[in-house]
Structure formats: C-alpha cells, structure tokens
Structure 1
C-alpha cells in the first residue's frame, strides 16, 4: 500500500531473480500471479543453474541451514541492546511465506542483452560469488548498474556462518572489476540488493574499486600465508583490512568478517584438514570432551580455573573450555552458565552483527536449551519446481541408510502429465535413478501425475489413499513401493548444537 500510494498501481511486466537465495525469490507470489506466467504474459528471468542451486541450499541442506540461521540472524532473540539489534544486511529477516515460481528465461551466456517491457538490460553472469547462481544487470538507457548482492555496504560472506558452499573471493573481485570496467563508467548510479544506491560516476567508481580490492586482498593474502605454511586459525587471527581502506565503512565487517572469511578461502582450496595427522582422525566431540575434562583434573577444577580467566577477560578461552565440560556432562549447570556468560561478553564486543547473534543465541541455548520445533519438509513451491532428477536426489537424501541395509527395490515410474519416465533403484543402501527408461525386471510400476507425487512426498496424501481414489496405479508388488516410502526420514530442526546430539 505504501508503494502504491507513491508509485501508483502498475502491472508487473517481468520478474528478475538476481540469485538463488530465498530472500531474493521467496516473495514472488506477493507481486505476481502465476497464471500470468503460465499464459506467457510475464517472463521470469534467472541466472544459469538457478533451480539447481535453490535445491541444494533449500531442499538438500535446508534443515541444518534453517537451524544454523537461528544463530546467524538471531530471530528468536529479544530485540534490544542486550539481544538482537541487527542481522548484518538489515534489521531482521522476513517471516512471511516463502514462495517460488520457476523461471521461464535462463541467462546462460556471460553477457546477454534483453529488452524487457521496452527497457534494455545487459545481464552479466557472476557465478560462485555471493551465491552459486548470480548475475548483475546494467540498464544503458537509465545509466544504472545493479550489482545484485555483490557490493553491499559492508564486507560480505565468503562463507556465511549459517552454512553454505564456500564462495570464490577471487571470482567475486574479478566480476566486480569487469562490471566496473564495462558498465560503471557509463553509469550515474550503482546499487545492490538490501542497501542504498551510490550516486555519481566518480563516487561509484571509487566505491566499486574498494569493494573489489577488499575481496581480492582477502583472497590473495590468505593464499600467500597458506603458501608460507600458515594454518586457518593463524591466518584468521592475523589478517585484517589494509590501512588504506580500513576506515571505509562500506567494507567493514558488520556482516562478514576477515576472520571467518579467511578460514573460508583456506577451506575452498585445501579443505577442512590442516595436514597435522593428529587432526586427521580425532575423537568425536563427546569422547574428546570427556578425556579433555579428565586431563583438566575434572569439571570442578576446570570451572574454577575458567572463573579466574573470565575475571581476566579471557572470554574466548572460557567459552571453549566450558564447551568441553558441557559436552562431557550436559547437565552441569555451572559450566553452562559460565559458558553462556563468556559467549554473552563476546557478543557484546564484536562488530559483526551475525557474530553477535551467534554468541548471544548460543548463550541463550546454554541457559534454556534448544528450541522445540516440529519436523520440517521442503517448501511446496520449491518441490514442484524441481526437475525429476533433483526431485529424486531429494528422496535419496531422506533415505535412512541403516534401515535400508540388505534391501533391494527397483521401481519404474511413469508420469503421463509431463511425458517422462524413470527407474529408481535401491541397493547397497543407496538410491539411484535413470531417466527416460524402465527396468525390464522391476518390483513395481507406478503411474501417476507429477503433481500427485509432490503431494505424496510432502505427506499431504498417502500413496494407498491415492490408489484407492484412482489417482495412481501400481502394477506388481505394491508392498515394495510402501517399503521404500517407509525408509524415508523426517527431519527435526531443533536439534542440539551446544551440547551432545540426542538420539532420535
């Protein structure tokens, strides 16, 4: 209503998804009727690999990312000076319903020009930057450059602490440099999603150069220290913005930080292992914690020493030490409280909003325990937008390997509404598939519409009910189909993070 009051009620003539993160497509049904897309009246543009990356992030790894996002963004913290004050890119995250209308136009070339409702747009693909699938847009007639989320008014994340694929800081700098060279000199304004524009060609050229150089410096200096033999923790402790740009507030670590971004660059090139054989096969967390506390002289002695260090302001070490005591004995209330106090102090002292949220929510969970939340399933719009390959990948990641031990199941699938067929094979506790074919000796043959399969996999309708209603047909051993669905896990989001994971 506020927008309409100032801009008038104008029809939406196109939608552009700049990249594959939920907050950049999830509100599409609030501005667009899918009937207009289906009728061909409204195109929906997206970068190459958009749907694939949406699936990886929100379906295949959706549950742990959702849980970890509670720490990154702090939505369950109280608002205020002792709680959540910011989410890094903005004051908070959306709490609306996530929706998705699959794109109709995919940008596949490094540079593509399209005229959309009379407006010329030059699309620049920028894969593996802030998102695996992302793109910039230059509007020559408007002398305007949209940098998606690659040049926000803070240092961004090479790796967000909610979890994600590590991004390519070198490519990030490269694409910003190319956009600056090709488009910025012809622009009067540059802007990125979440934040405000920069006006004036000379100002925006300076802005983009410093953004570019921050990511390039982060990348190159991490690699330089790696090649000197430095470990991730040492690099993270040393690396900071160069003095020539450290006072530029638009690349300060209000969101990402040089510390965890440097670790991320290391991880992208060398992975999680630091080459110290002592770290190659360590004890799992609980066993390690119990031995560590034993070496400390027991929990009482460890807590006493930790209180002394807390009084000295050594909060990082106290949080680490008390985490060991809690993992050794989650019921140790004194350790939980002291660990929470240390995390709280770390939260108050950090510049990064996401670090603050993580520390303060960690303190909250040590005191109150993890949230109780029902099992989650993938969003219906995301599920129905998947290709069948991606759909069966989703089914495969829900397969409980322990329960599947010793079982073999082969099922042919036919989807008359979309003219596709598949064969699904379970053996060796792994679910594999092939498209455009059937097995000669399948246990069962299932015929149903793709829309119905979506409802079944999301638990909206049981397969036996669908058969009884004449919506699906099973030839052969229907028990094998039921057996397969019985092997699929549901995922609870409120699992433990700051204490041992409880068996479910």
Structure 2
C-alpha cells in the first residue's frame, strides 16, 4: 500500500483494527463532557466567504501533488467516526475551510486551506501587503492568483513574515520577485533575529527533527478516519518548492509603528513564544489585531514532538496579556492559522482563555514540581481548571496539556526526576532483555499484553510489550500486539500530534518505515541565508570524535566578498571556530568568496573544482582539509525508533564533503 493511500476498508494498514469498545466508550464520554452545542467557531469559520476555487489539488512544479484538500473529503460526510476523538473531529472539520474570505470589508482578506498556514492579503493604497506567504511557492502563487481573479489585479508591495518557521515564509517566491525586493520596490518585514532563527533551528539537529517530524505530522499516513485527519492548525504541510528572501526591514522595538502603502501598523515583538523570533501586528485605524501564531484555534506546543527548544509558557501568557492591554477596543482578531473572531467581547474571551491556560500550565506544573511531582509524573497529575477545559480555544490540539506540563518542568529543572536509577539508564535493548527474563519470557509477556489490551489498558500493555520488542526485535507477534495498543491510543487522542505519533509507530512496528515524496528545504535561498559560522558549527556537529582523535590543526577561512574571516581549530578531537580572528601560524589559509562557498555548502561544487576554476586560494599545508573531510558524518533521517523497523532499501545518495543537507520542511514548522 503506497504512502498516503488507505486500504480498501479505509485503514492505513492491512492489519489495522477498528476502534475497540473502550475507545468508543471514551469517545462517548468526550461527547458528553464538552460543549458541542457551542457552534460559534463554525459560524465565524464560514463568515466572509467570497469564493471557493474550482480545484481541490495544487500541483508542484516538479509534477507531484503539492496540496490536496480532496483527500480529506471523508470528513464532510456528516458521520461520527469511532476512530477519531470527537473533539479532534470537530477541529478537523473546521480546518476544511477552503477559499477566499473577507475579514474586514475592503481591507483584509485571507486565503485559507491552500497550505498549513493562512495567507493574508491587506489592501493598501496601491497594492497588496502579504502576511505569511505559506510554505511553498506553488500554493502561495495559487492563492495570489485566486485573490487577483476575484478582487482585481494588484501588485504585491510588501511581505510580512510573522516568525521564523517555514510555513510562514517558504512560499515567498510565489508572491514576489526577488529582483523587486533588491531594488526596493517590495519590502520584506520581519522580527529582529528572524534570519538567524529561520536557519539555525533546521541545521544543528535537522536530521533528527526531520525523522521525528514525519512521525508527528503523519506525512506518510493514509488520509482516512483510521489515519491522518488533521494537523490542528491546518490540514497538513504543502509539498512544493520552498524559498527564502532576506528581510529588508527589521522590527527591533517591543512596539514599533510603520506605515506601508498607506496602511498604519504597530508591530509587537513576541520573542520566545511560538518561535524564538516572532511578532504580532495591530492595525489601529481598523481596530484589527493579527495574532500571527501566538493565538490560534488551539493551545500550542510548549514542547513540540518533532524537537525544538522548550518554549516559555509564562512569557507566552504575558505577551498575550500585553496585546490585550495595549490594543484595547479590538474588534477583529485574525491569525496565521484557524479562523477570525469578531466583536470585542468574543475576542477577549479567546485571548483570556489562551493567556490564562499558558499561565496556568506554567504555574501549575511548577507548583507540582515544588511539591515533589516529577517530570515523569506531572502529566498524570496536572489538569487545567474545568472552566478552561470547556473552552474550545483552550483545547489540546496542536499542543497537549500533558506534554506541555512535562516540558515546563524540563525547562526549569531538566529531564532528571530525582531518582538515581534514572540518572544513567541502561540501553533499552539491555533493559528489555532483563525485564523479559524477570517476567518469565516472551510467551508470558505476550499473554499478559493480550489480557491488558482486552481490558482496554493500552498504556499498561505498551509498558511491557515495549520491553519485549527491544529485547527481541524479530518477534513480530510482540511488534503487532504493541502496534494494536498504539493504534487504540491514537484513536483516543485529541491532539493530532499524539494521534499521528501512535499511528505512525503502529505502522512501523507492523511493516517498517514508510517511504514517500518528502518536502526538502535545501533550497539555494536557505543555504545563502545561512551564516558562515552556522555552517562551521554544523561541521563541528558532524565531526566523528573517534576519527578525529589525535588530529591537531588550525585553518584560516577568509571570504573577501563579505569581509568575514574565521579561525577554525581542531584540538582534543573537537572542531571549534571563532569569527573575526585568524592565526598568523595557521596550518592552512583558505580564501574564497562567500558566494563560492555557497556552492560547496549546497554540494554543487567542491574545493578542488573551485581551485581548478581559480575561485579559491590555498596557502599552507592542504592535509588538514582532507583530514577534516574524513571525519565528517553524513546524516540521513531514516534511523530506527524501534529496532528492526528499517526496511531494506537503496542507500541514499551520499552528500559531498562539507555539504549541508537540510532536512524536510517539518523540521521547522509549528
């Protein structure tokens, strides 16, 4: 069965199971507990619809499907699915909005459902100001074309990036020509630190994030009631050409006013919330507040499962509070995801719900930590107040209360729970073998696992079957039984990230890793935007210390076209660098323009080829460069989570020495 396709019965795997009676009972309990009678979100979601496009798919320039809303049409059949948490099903239906919407008459418009993020078009005196041009050029281009067809052709005069995640800037080439940016015809506005953060999060742990992102986002799960249904802030991630044009205007103040094409805007810098570099925008003349991704239709990730630095929940709450009190009289709330809200009372209800839950998660988790509750227990203890649990804007779709509470404790006091046995845990394979031996062998564990699953105790079953899988990777019966437990846990979860993670791992346990067309962010734009010291830091991460043991050398790197210089040193099997320095007695000095170094970083050339072209000069001993190349690790995002899940497949094409292989776009969305 190909990735993204469901089996004949709609399941993502031929050995998949329907929802158990315990999962159905949980679903029925959720239906009774939550306020499904509150339909305001649906009314707001439909308000202002101007037109729906005649197409449901957007093709990538490379020939594959970049975006496919049709694949989620099963959600609009009016059915309640036992295999989907009813709260998640509600959110998934809301995210089926697809078309051009008017947010503020004559001024603010959004195209929704063309990508993970909304694309917002602000009508200025002469042209469009585009807020967050989505992930891919193809989807952004389709959105601009649709807007111009329905509202009249207008040039794009400015682009605003709200923050440093790819789904908010990757499609920029679909709405503007870079030459117009360089000439000053089009402004690119972004928060301070945007360029650095947009690159760095995808470099240092990019391969690990890519592997984990495929799991969290369910990119290769079939789209069906048993598989992928939603991504909480949108349907999924577009699979097209990503790019990046550097900002020309940086927002550096906490609150900074600019007038662009006759539109007055106050930018609110909100660093260390959803992204390290982030900002909201207030339109004082229209009483409209663009909340970027700081406020959407869900509580967000304090810790995202793909991997990222843990975010600051308390600061997030304070930034929302700052918006409430600085932008008084707000009448329109809209954002990079989800749908707008109108009316001051309704908007304050949503803002306070999210403000209060971010603060409550922070305060509640730390209160429990100070009472001795550990990072490995808090998710079973912390609960948000009932008044927040019954507000849809505070539900755990993109971010899970359970995961966020653990992340908050980890941010403040780390991963250790205080128990010395957890300071230096055994490798899971060794731990698994010990547990299997002490539990009397695999047959007894399998029997107990089946008993626990028959009782609906899926987490308990996972606890023991996980040990068996690590102890006996080839025990397919154990793998299948653990997959059955994961599958029911996935059906039960409200958060798509948790659902996708359980269902992906169920698939891998049964059949190994899936393959499919994955988005790549290794575009020339991204490489050019990478600072040279970021590349050198990445090389340091790539060095295998065992291969570098005994090496000692220094290399000067000089790039005349941008006036930079670096001292690179290998000592104690560790590669370090410092900007602005060179050594008079360096073993080797390399001089080349940064524009030529880009070609090496992208893998389109090599030092040897550039030397033949006369584009690089070497002075001194060339051996350190060859030594360094021999220590570098080539990363690929296909490592195992459970042993024995890597399928036989052709080895990926090897990267060239010194090439930075940036990983799929899911490494730095959300």
Give the TM-score category using the shorter length.
over 0.9
Alignment of 1:33-112 (within 5 A): 33-112=177-256
Cα separation, partners in 2 of 1:145 and 1:271, compared to 1, 3 Å: same
Give the match for residue 17 of structure 2.
none
Per the alignment, residue 440 of structure 2 pairs with 297
CA displacement at 1:86 relative to structure 2: 0.7
- Taking the aligned partners of 2:376 and 2:620, their CA distance within structure 1 comes to 58
Secondary structure of the structure 1 residue equivalent to 2:297:
coil
TM alignment of 1:210-359, pairs within 5 A: 210-359=353-502
Secondary structure of 1:86's partner?
coil
CA distance in 2, matches of 1:234, 1:491: 34
Give the distance between the partners of 1:487 and 1:142, measured in 2 at CA.
Answer: 58
C-alpha distance in structure 2 between counterparts of 1:483 and 1:33, whole Å? 42
Q: Provide the C-alpha distance between the structure 2 equivalents of 1:47 and 1:168, rounded to a whole number of angstroms.
A: 18
Asked if residue 168 in structure 1 is aligned to residue 312 in structure 2, the reply is: yes
Shift, 1:501, TM fit:
9.1
- What stretches of structure 1 of length at least 5 have no aligned partner? none
Tell me, yes or no, if structure 1 residue 486 matches structure 2 residue 640: no
Partner SS state of residue 386, structure 2: coil
Shift of 1:190: 0.9
Q: Which secondary structure state, in structure 2, belongs to the residue aligned with residue 186 of structure 1?
A: coil
C-alpha separation between the residues in 2 aligned to 1:487 and 1:458? 19
Partner of 1:139: 283
Runs of at least 5 residues in structure 2 that lack an aligned partner in the other structure: 1-144, 652-670
Shifted more, 255-264 versus 235-244: the winner is 235-244
Contact 1:377–1:458 (8 Å) recurs in 2: no
SS at match of 1:219: helix
Choose 123-132 or 368-377, whichever is displaced more: 368-377
Asked whether the equivalents of residues 270 and 278 of structure 2 are also in contact (C-alpha less than 8 Å), the reply is yes
Equivalent positions of 1:425-444 (< 5 A) are 425-444=569-588
- Tell me how far apart the structure 2 counterparts of residues 46 and 4 of structure 1 sit (CA, whole Å): 25
SS in 2 for 1:14: strand
Deviations 1:118-138 (A, max 9, x none): 222111111111111111111
Equivalent residues of 1:189, 1:197 under 8 A apart: yes
> What is the CA-CA distance between 1:3 and the residue it aligns to?
2.0
Cα distance in 2, alignment partners of residues 144 and 383 from structure 1: 36
* Residue correspondence of structure 1 range 424-503 to structure 2 within 5 A: 424-499=568-643
Deviation at 1:458, TM superposition (A): 2.5
Moved more, 490-499 or 478-487: 478-487
Q: 1-side partners of 2:177 and 2:546: how far apart? A: 44
Q: Pick from 170, 183, 198: which aligns with 1:26? A: 170
> So what's the TM-score if we normalise by structure 2?
0.72
Question: Distance between the aligned counterparts of 2:301 and 2:188, measured in 1?
Answer: 27
The superposition leaves residues 270-289 of structure 1 with CA deviations (integer Å, 9 ceiling, x where unpaired) of 11001111111121222111
- Asked if the contact 2:474/2:644 (under 8 Å) is kept, the reply is no
CA contact (8 A) 1:189 1:198 kept: yes
- Work out whether residues 509 and 645 of structure 2, in 8 Å CA contact, stay in contact via their aligned partners in 1: no
Per-residue CA distance 1:384-405 (angstroms, 9 max, x = gap): 1122222221222222222111
Paired with 2:522 and 2:263, the residues of 1 have a C-alpha distance of: 36
Out of 538, 546, 561, the residue aligned to residue 402 of structure 1 is 546
**Displacement of 1:500:** 6.7
1:369 alignment counterpart: 512
In structure 2, distance between residues paired with 1:127 and 1:365: 37
Name which of structure 1's ranges 329-338 and 428-437 shifts more when overlaid on structure 2: 428-437
How many angstroms does 1:499 deviate by?
Answer: 2.4
Native 8 Å contact 1:62 1:378 kept in 2: no
Which residue in the other structure is 2:83 paired with?
none
Aligned to 2:339: 196
String of CA shifts for 1:15-60, please: whole Å, max 9, x gaps: 1111111111111111121112222222222212222222331111
The corresponding residue for 1:385 is 529
Could you tell me whether the CA contact under 8 Å between 2:289 and 2:334 is conserved in 1?
Answer: yes
- For the residue of structure 1 that corresponds to 2:156, the secondary structure is coil
In 2, Cα distance between equivalents of 1:428 and 1:166: 31
* Bigger shift: residues 336-345 or 243-252: 243-252
**Distance verdict in 2 for CA 1:373–1:272, change over 3 Å:** farther
Compute the displacement of 1:378 (Å): 4.6
Q: Distance in 1 between matches of 2:588 and 2:516?
A: 36
RMSD (CA atoms) = 1.9
Partner SS for 1:403 = helix
Q: Give 1:117 deviation, angstroms.
A: 2.1
Match of 1:126 in 2: 270
Do 2:564 and 2:580's aligned partners in 1 also have CA atoms closer than 8 Å?
A: yes
Q: Deviation above 3 Å: which 4+ runs of structure 1?
A: 371-380
Matched residues, number:
502
- Structure 1 residue 295: Cα displacement: 1.4
State the Cα deviation string for residues 91-112 of structure 1 (Å, max 9, x = none): 1111112211122222222111
User: Aligned partners of 2:429, 2:200: CA distance in 1, in Å?
Assistant: 30
Look up the SS of the partner of 1:78 in the other structure.
coil
Taking the aligned partners of 2:579 and 2:318, their CA distance within structure 1 comes to 38
User: Given that residues 373 and 492 in structure 1 are in contact (C-alpha distance below 8 angstroms), is that contact kept between their aligned partners in structure 2?
Assistant: no
